[in-house]
């Protein structure tokens, strides 16, 4: 988006789907209601985070299957499924099934790496193969092959009364082009481009080399450009940006105070790279839609992308999400040149 005359093409949102351990149904129902609201407001996409052994959605594919039956148009995505927890063949079956049920609206986002706290849970997750599991890009490649219809076995045909396929069924032909990779490093951006995937860049990037820039927007811009430089479609390759955006246009004074305090507590981590991996976090954008639009237009990475999936804060209440989503759709989106989907 180098010029203000170029409208934002796709507007989405991302939620973690928190729930109370004593009443998990209420939290999951809230998430489904938020997705339904997003469709009514004209959002192009709704995305779910993925959390294991926490009080957030652990099975976003299952939740999106439910959402597919309560919506008709909005695209449904995951941002992201950590593949270290998954069997690629089984996940390919689930993804294709939900894509068929949704009418071709699923956008699976993926990431690699060992599961968090792997040493503490590996015996429960992989009791026989814990030390042999591949948590690298090869795991994504296996999933891509299955989703894109490559043979999974050398056997097919009829055995008794049963018919067997040599590839994952159901096969959803368009799903292979709607696979996303969530990356924070130049290597990940380049690899995703080489595989012909789409690219999710969030509010976290890696400041890879000490002494280099620690400007979040500049690092994110380098990821976008590296991805497109290695993608077969070049500048047309899809990139989605996922910053935390909290407009306050219709917020109550109490909500505004809560939002500002939330951002204030998270600001220190945005000043310097965090931990051995040198992860750098983007500041949360809190303010009126006009103020946020100005900050986005000044963001060098935002100016080179055409779709976003703004992240909802983790710990807010249902009514807060309703207010934030409504302001994004009614105020901020139009300020960025976006028009609601039909």
At 31-46, the pLDDT tens digits run 999 999 999 999 999 9
Q: Is the pLDDT of residue 2 over 60?
A: no
Give residue for tokens 């959803």: 172
State the pLDDT at residue 211: 67
pLDDT-derived band at 236, boundaries 50, 70, 90: very high
Contact 226, 181 (CB under 8 A): no
Whether residue 161 is contained in a domain is answered as no
**Percentage, residues of the chain above pLDDT 70:** 98
- Check residues 1 and 335 and name the one with the higher pLDDT: 335
Q: Is the pLDDT of residue 6 over 90?
A: no
Give residue for tokens 């998954």: 86
Q: Is the pLDDT of residue 3 over 70?
A: no
Mean pLDDT, rounded, for 250-276 = 96
Q: What is the pLDDT of residues 53-100, one digit of tens each?
A: 999 999 999 999 999 999 999 999 999 999 999 999 999 999 999 999
Number of domains forming the structure of the chain? 1
Mean pLDDT, rounded, for 304-323 = 96
Helix axes 137-147, 88-102, angle to 10 degrees: 40
Q: Which domain holds residue 197?
A: 10-153+169-335
Whether residue 179 is contained in a domain is answered as yes
State the pLDDT at residue 4: 65
pLDDT-derived band at 1, boundaries 50, 70, 90: very low
Helix axes 60-68, 24-41, angle to 10 degrees: 50
Mean pLDDT, rounded, for 215-244 = 97
Q: How far apart are CA 233 and CA 226, in angstroms?
A: 13
Q: What is the pLDDT of residues 131-189, one digit of tens each?
A: 999 999 999 999 999 999 999 999 999 999 999 999 999 999 999 999 999 999 999 99
Mean pLDDT, rounded, for 258-282 = 95
Q: How far apart are CA 172 and CA 108, in angstroms?
A: 13
Contact 206, 220 (CB under 8 A): no
Whether residue 2 is contained in a domain is answered as no
Whether residue 262 is contained in a domain is answered as yes
Token code pair at residue 310 = 């703004």
pLDDT-derived band at 342, boundaries 50, 70, 90: confident
Whether residue 278 is contained in a domain is answered as yes
Mean pLDDT, rounded, for 111-117 = 96
Whether residue 163 is contained in a domain is answered as no
Average model confidence (pLDDT) for the chain?
96
Mean pLDDT, rounded, for 99-105 = 98
State the pLDDT at residue 84: 98
Q: Is the pLDDT of residue 5 over 70?
A: no
Whether residue 340 is contained in a domain is answered as no
Of 332, 320, 326, 329, nearest to 30 by C-alpha is 320
Mean pLDDT, rounded, for 230-254 = 98
Mean pLDDT, rounded, for 258-278 = 94
CATH number at residue 305: 3.20.20.30
Q: How far apart are CA 69 and CA 5, in angstroms?
A: 37
Whether residue 158 is contained in a domain is answered as no
State the pLDDT at residue 210: 67
């Amino acid at each position: 988006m180098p010029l203000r005359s170029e409208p934002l093409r796709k507007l989405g949102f991302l939620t973690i789907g928190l729930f109370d351990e004593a009443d998990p149904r209420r939290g999951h129902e809230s998430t489904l209601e938020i997705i339904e609201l997003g469709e009514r407001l004209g959002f192009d996409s709704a995305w779910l985070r993925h959390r294991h052994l926490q009080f957030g959605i652990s099975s976003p594919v299952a939740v999106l299957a439910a959402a597919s039956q309560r919506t008709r148009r909005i695209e449904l995505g995951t941002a992201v499924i950590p593949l270290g927890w998954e069997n690629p063949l089984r996940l390919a079956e689930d993804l294709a099934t939900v894509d068929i049920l949704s009418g071709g609206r699923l956008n699976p986002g993926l990431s690699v790496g060992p599961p968090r706290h792997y040493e503490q849970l590996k015996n429960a997750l992989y009791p026989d193969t814990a030390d042999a599991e591949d948590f690298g890009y090869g795991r994504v490649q296996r999933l891509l092959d299955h989703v894109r219809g490559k043979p999974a076995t050398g056997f097919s045909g009829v055995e008794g009364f049963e018919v067997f396929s040599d590839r994952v069924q159901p096969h959803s032909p368009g799903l292979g082009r709607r696979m996303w990779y969530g990356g924070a490093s130049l290597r990940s951006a380049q690899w995703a481009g080489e595989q012909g995937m789409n690219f999710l860049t969030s509010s976290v990037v890696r400041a890879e080399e000490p002494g280099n820039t620690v400007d979040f927007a500049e690092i994110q811009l380098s990821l976008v450009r590296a991805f497109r430089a290695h993608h077969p479609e070049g500048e047309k390759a899809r990139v989605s940006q996922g910053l935390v955006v909290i407009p306050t246009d219709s917020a109550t004074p109490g909500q505004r105070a809560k939002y500002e305090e939330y951002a204030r507590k998270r600001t220190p981590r945005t000043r310097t790279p965090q931990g051995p991996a040198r992860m750098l976090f983007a500041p949360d954008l809190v303010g009126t839609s006009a103020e946020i639009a100005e900050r986005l237009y000044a963001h060098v990475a935002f100016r080179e992308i055409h779709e976003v999936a703004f992240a909802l804060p983790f710990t807010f209440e249902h009514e807060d999400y309703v207010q934030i989503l409504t302001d994004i759709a009614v105020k901020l989106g139009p300020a960025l040149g976006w028009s609601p989907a039909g």
